[in-house]
Structure 1
Amino acid sequence: MSTGLIIALIVIGAVLVIAVAAFLALRARSPRGGRDLRRRFGPEYDRAVARHDGDTKAAERELNQRVERHGDLHPEPLDPVRRERFEARWAAAQELFVEAPRAAVSEADHLLAEAAEARGFPDSSHYDDQLSALSVHHAVHVQGYRHVHRLAHEPDGNGVAEERTATEEMREAMVEARELFEDLVGAGAGGADKKGSRGI
C-alpha cells in the first residue's frame, strides 16, 4: 500500500470519527422527544400537552424550543449575603400572609422574579421568557411561580365565601412557590444551605 493511500485512509477515518462524535454530542445535548422530554420536564410536559389539546407533537416541539433557547443557560450562584436577604424577605412575606394574604402573594411573585433574575435567568420584565427558562432548569417547581403570578395579578374577589376560597388558594400557591424559591436561593450554595419547609 502506498504512503499516499495510507494517509488518505487515516484522514477519512479521522473525519468519520469527528463526524460521529459531533452527531452523538449534538444528540445528547437536546432531548429527542417523548420519554426524554417527559423525564426532563415532568409535570411541565403534561401541562404543555394539555395546553396543546393533547397534541404531543406540538407540545414536544414547544418544549424542544425551550431547551434550544435556554438549555445552555448556566445559573449564577448567589453570594451568601444576597441569599440571606432573599431568605429574610421570604420569611417576612410568610409572616405577612396572616394579615394580608394578597400582599404576601404579590411579594412572593416579586421575590421569585428577582431571585431568578439574580441567578441569571431572563429579565423579570419579560415574565413569559423568564418562566420558559425556569421551566427548563426547574421544571418540577415552576408551577408555583405560575400560580403566585396569576393570583398576584388577578383582581380581588367579593364575598366572604369567595374570600375564604381565595385565601386557601393563595396559601397553596405560597407553599408551591416556596419550593421554587428554595431551589433558586439554595442552589447558590450547591444546595447545602437549602432550608426545610416551613408552614405559613
Structure 2
Amino acid sequence: MDTTTVVLVVLVVLALVAVGVVAATARRRSERHRSEELRDRFGPEYDRSVEAADDRDGRREAERELRRAAERRDALEIRPVPAASRTRYVERWGEVQTSFVETPVEAVEAARTLVVDVMAERGYPTEDTDERARMLAADHGEVVEHHRAAEGHRDRYRSGAGTTEDLRQAFVHYHRLFDVLLDDGRAGGRGTDGDDTPRTVDVREPHGATALDETR
C-alpha cells in the first residue's frame, strides 16, 4: 500500500470517528433536552420517578414512562368546569367542610369523592389512583404533591397507624387540590393567585378520638 493510499485510509477513519463523535454529542444533547422538558413539565413528579431508579437504565425507563404519561395526557380533552357545576361543587364542599368537626372520617372520604368527581367532569381518568396522579402531574407538577400527600395521610389512618392529625392533613391537601382543579383555566378563579398556589384552608380540629374510632 503506497503512502497516498495510507493517508486516504487514515483520513477516512478520522472522518468516521469525527462523525461518530458529533452524532454521540448530538444524541446526548437531545437526551438532556428531553430530560429538561420532562423535568419542567412534571416538576417534583420527575424527581420522584427518576431519582427512585437504581441505575442509568432505570432512569431511562422512568423517563420513558413519563413520556408515555405525557402522551396519554395530551390525548385527553381536558375542559374547565362549567359555571353551574362549579357552583354546585362549591356548595357541596362547604357542606363537607362543615361536617369535618363532627364526622372527620366521613368528611375526608367525601372530600376525596369530590376531587375525583371534579377530575372526571374535567375529563381526567379516575379509576386508578396512580394514573390520576400521573395525569395531574402532567398538568400541575407541583399540585400533584397534594394528591399524593392526601392519599398517604388517608391510607395511614385507614390502616390504623394514623391519628386525627392525618385526617386533618388529608382534608387540607384534598381542599387545595380541589381548589386548583375547580378553577384551572377560569379567569379570576377562587382559591388561586394564577400560579396553582391555593389559599390556606382553615380546618378546625375534629372532636375527640373516641368519635373517630366509632366511625372507622
Length-normalised TM-score, structure 1: 0.69
1:78 aligns with 2:81: yes
CA RMSD of aligned residues (A): 2.5
Change (3 A) 1:191 1:72: farther
CA contact (8 A) 1:102 1:152 kept: no
- Structure 1: state its 5+ residue gaps: 1-30
CA contact (8 A) 2:153 2:167 kept: yes
Aligned twin of 2:34: 33
Aligned twin of 1:168: 165
CA shift at 1:49, angstroms?
A: 2.4
CA contact (8 A) 1:83 1:185 kept: yes
Q: State percent identity of aligned pairs.
A: 32
CA contact (8 A) 2:39 2:46 kept: yes
Distance 1:95 1:182 in 2: 17
Deviations 1:52-100 (A, max 9, x none): 3474323212211100111243311211121011112222222222222
- Structure 2: state its 5+ residue gaps: 1-31, 192-198, 204-216
User: Secondary structure of the residue that 2:127 maps to in structure 1?
Assistant: coil
Aligned twin of 2:100: 97
Change (3 A) 1:149 1:49: same
Aligned twin of 1:11: none
After TM superposition, where is structure 1 displaced by more than 6 Å over at least 4 residues in a row? none
CA shift at 1:114, angstroms?
A: 0.6
CA shift at 1:173, angstroms?
A: 2.3
Distance 2:63 2:134 in 1: 14
CA contact (8 A) 1:109 1:145 kept: no
Deviations 1:138-178 (A, max 9, x none): 22112322333344456352xxxx66xx2212222222222
Change (3 A) 1:192 1:111: same
Structure 1 segment 46-125 matched on structure 2, within 5 A:
46-53=47-54, 55-122=58-125, 124-125=126-127
- Matched residue type, 2:147: Y
- Residue 182 (structure 2) aligned to one of 185, 188, 193: 185
